[in-house]
Amino acid sequence: MVDAFRFGGRNAWLLVGGFTVAAAISAVLVTRTAELRYERDVNRMVFNDNVGVLEEVRAKIGSTTDSLKDLLSSAPVAAAGQRYIVVSIAERKLWFKEGNKTLFQAPVATGSGKEFVSGTNRYRFLTPRGRLVVRLKEVDPAWVPPDWHYQEQARKRGLGVVRLARGESVPTGDGGMIYVSGSELVRRSAGGSLASLGGGREDREVVAGGNIIIPPFGTNARRYEGVLGTRRLNLGDGYGIHGTNKPETVGQAVSHGCVRMRNEDIERLFEIVSVGTPVYIY
């Protein structure tokens, strides 16, 4: 073989080069074919408003379960020129389209798929699949964490959890106590001095006596600013397309179910999307 290249020379090298070029062209054609099939399937799904087609697309990527069947919209699809959003969980990308024309696209982060069990409660952090609708547009949205957030944080940090209700108090272990006053969590020291514990902060929950406190809804401690970025398109039932304070996670499967975008991307999308816009997630 070595002699063939040494003495047979130019023709042998041309043959190898030809095979290399042919392989590269073949790879490009396969990739382009997959892209065209994806676009065809999504367009069929949108223009026919056909959940059956959505199931077919999901089957092709190996998905067999739907995490949010009750939010599948039965509203008739609008004319072919209607604008709509498409999110691919597998590719972790979002497209804003009008008919076949793509007006905007960006990378996203989607649900991690991880499972968290606390007592009798079981949570699976999946991005919902189906046809949803933009229900509300929010500027500088705050996140109100569900109970599982505090339970998950306690598990990570080797702490217990205790639920604080209005009219009750939690001992701090040093003679003081924590209780609710209006919309604030207040710490009273053993000497009687009072201090507000302020608003909620991610990864810096209120801890007392070896337990993370789950504050009541309606308190500032149960309201986290900045976690959802600068804009949110609310899809209902706690799900949304929003920004993030962790832009490095975009492009990964890391969220608890929402679709995350870089703040600059969600701000651009926010300006061109209207309430009522269909959102197809597959």
CATH code (residue 113):
2.40.440.10
Give the structural domain span for 169.
Answer: 147-224
In 89-203, which residue ranges form alpha helices assigned H by DSSP?
147-157
Distance separating alpha carbons of residues 82 and 99, to the nearest angstrom: 6
Last residue of a domain, one of 224, 250, 273: 224
Looking up tokens 């998950």, which residue turns up? 152
233, 147 contact by CB (below 8 A): no
279, 84 contact by CB (below 8 A): yes
- 154 in the same domain as 116: no
- 130 in the same domain as 238: yes
**pLDDT at position 47 over 90:** no
Residue 51 forms part of a structural domain: no
- Residue 119: predicted pLDDT: 82
Band (120; pLDDT cuts 50, 70, 90): confident
Last residue of a domain, one of 209, 224, 239: 224
**pLDDT at position 12 over 70:** no
**pLDDT at position 36 over 60:** no
95, 104 contact by CB (below 8 A): yes
Looking up tokens 């209902």, which residue turns up? 236
Distance separating alpha carbons of residues 98 and 120, to the nearest angstrom: 45
Q: Which range among 52-56, 57-61, 222-226 has the greatest average pLDDT?
A: 222-226
- Number of structural domains in the chain: 2
220, 184 contact by CB (below 8 A): yes
